[in-house]
Amino acid sequence: MLAAWLAAAVAVAGTPEEWSSSYDARLSQALGAEPSEAIAVYEALVAQMPAQQEQRGEVLYWLGRARWSAGDLSGAKRSLESALSYRSSRLRARSLLGRIALRDQAIQDLPFVQDYRLNTTPWVRGWERGKDSDLSVEDGPDGRALRWTTELADGQTDFLAFGFDTDRDRVSSISLSVRSEGVPAKVRVVLEDSDGQLWMSSKQTVRMGRWTELTLPIADFTSTGGIKSLDARTLRSLTFQDLTALHTNSRGSNTIWIDDLTVR
Ligand SMILES: [Ca+2]
């Protein structure tokens, strides 16, 4: 019903000005609808909008969101990737693509061991800065390893992340080798549980030009709030934060290598 009404409204909409005035109302109606209805609405809108119209990016973003809610992951990714070329929706689309990738590439079986010969899994490049190609597998100082190119800028942190989908298997520790090329790095690992509560490691110093082995028992993570204790069967994601720019005056590009990730 809603879809039919909106499709009709789309058909009679004329000038870009008329578009803009009714467009927000249409979007908010679709937001309250069932995903299948909303998808029909957004598809009708996208079909009618010229490619160069900036608002098309927003509709593509909402179409991607609705497809994601309906469980259509590949359709969601297509819409969101299309939305990336519109300035107004790029950040939101990239953020949702990142969150989808977290779930897509989540660690399922424990123990999980990665020596970074072939690919960058399970890491997802943080979606607030840089670009996806900042993360690659390359010949490093001691064989193949994960290479992460970061940019040290005033007041700016950066991150990588991966998801857990371990079917309530208990995670007990995370270890990895890290090496920073340009400056000694400062990093921290943050865990999120299924309630959205965050748990932090202490800040870790990564040596410059040498490997630093980080071993992080889950029991050592502390909560940022709340009083419950961490249930290591309910971890949802891990974020590897690069805090280096807050601890050095150096600016510009840095390379962080990661190898031998083990999750037990
Ligand atoms: Ca390796």
| Whether residue 55 sits in one domain with residue 163 | no
| Whether residue 128 sits in one domain with residue 75 | no
Residue 228: predicted pLDDT: 78
Average pLDDT for 131-160: 97
pLDDT of residue 78 exceeding 60: yes
pLDDT tens digit sequence for 111-141 = 999 999 999 999 999 999 999 999 999 999 9
CA 211–ligand 1 middle distance (angstroms): 12
**pTM across the whole model:** 0.86
CA 176–ligand 1 middle distance (angstroms): 11
| Whether residue 244 sits in one domain with residue 126 | yes
| Whether residue 52 sits in one domain with residue 176 | no
CA 145–ligand 1 middle distance (angstroms): 4
Q: How are the residues of the chain apportioned to helix, strand and coil, as percentages rounded to the nearest 5?
A: 35, 30, 35
How far, in Å, are 30, 170, 176, 212, 222 from residue 136 at the CA level? Answer: 39, 29, 16, 20, 31
Give the CATH number, domain containing residue 176: 2.60.120.260
Residue 33: predicted pLDDT: 75
Domain boundary residue, one of 62, 86, 104 = 104
Give the CATH number, domain containing residue 16: 1.25.40.10
Query: b/e map of 80-118 (b: 16 or more CB within 10 Å)?
Result: bebbbebeebeebbbebbbbbbbeebbbeebebebebee
The backbone torsions φ and ψ at residue 26, rounded to the nearest 5 degrees and listed phi first, read -65, -45
Q: Tell me the C-alpha distance between 116 and 138, whole Å.
A: 8
| Whether residue 221 sits in one domain with residue 155 | yes
Q: How many other C-beta atoms can be found within 10 angstroms of the C-beta atom of residue 8?
A: 11
| Whether residue 147 sits in one domain with residue 61 | no
CA 16–ligand 1 middle distance (angstroms): 54
Domain boundary residue, one of 43, 74, 104 = 104
Q: What is the mean pLDDT of the chain?
A: 90
Nearest to 125 by CA among 173, 161, 178: 161
| Percent of the chain surpassing pLDDT 70 | 88
CA 213–ligand 1 middle distance (angstroms): 13
CA 39–ligand 1 middle distance (angstroms): 43
CA 124–ligand 1 middle distance (angstroms): 18
Confidence of residue 229 (pLDDT cuts 50, 70, 90): confident
DSSP strand pairing (252-263 vs 198-200): unpaired
Residue 12: predicted pLDDT: 42
Domain that holds residue 173: 112-263
pLDDT tens digit sequence for 158-175 = 999 999 999 999 999 999
pLDDT tens digit sequence for 2-56 = 555 454 444 444 455 555 555 655 665 666 778 888 899 899 999 999 999 999 9
pLDDT tens digit sequence for 179-206 = 999 999 999 999 999 999 999 999 999 9
| Whether residue 192 sits in one domain with residue 90 | no
Q: Tell me the C-alpha distance between 79 and 105, whole Å.
A: 19
- The number of distinct structural domains making up the chain is 2
* Token pair recorded at residue 241: 């934060």
CA 56–ligand 1 middle distance (angstroms): 43
Q: Tell me the C-alpha distance between 231 and 218, whole Å.
A: 10
Residue 227: predicted pLDDT: 72
**226: left (phi > 0), else alpha (psi -120 to 50), else beta?**
left
Q: Tell me the C-alpha distance between 29 and 51, whole Å.
A: 23
CA 92–ligand 1 middle distance (angstroms): 33
CA 72–ligand 1 middle distance (angstroms): 34
pLDDT tens digit sequence for 96-112 = 999 999 999 999 999 99
pLDDT tens digit sequence for 56-69 = 999 999 999 999 98
Cis peptide, bond prior to residue 111, ω within 30 of zero: yes
| Whether residue 9 sits in one domain with residue 51 | yes
pLDDT of residue 251 exceeding 90: yes
Domain boundary residue, one of 77, 104, 131 = 104
| Whether residue 40 sits in one domain with residue 122 | no
| Whether residue 124 sits in one domain with residue 92 | no
Nearest to 69 by CA among 99, 107, 108: 99
| Whether residue 60 sits in one domain with residue 6 | yes
Residue 5: predicted pLDDT: 47
Check residues 208 and 15 and name the one with the higher pLDDT: 208
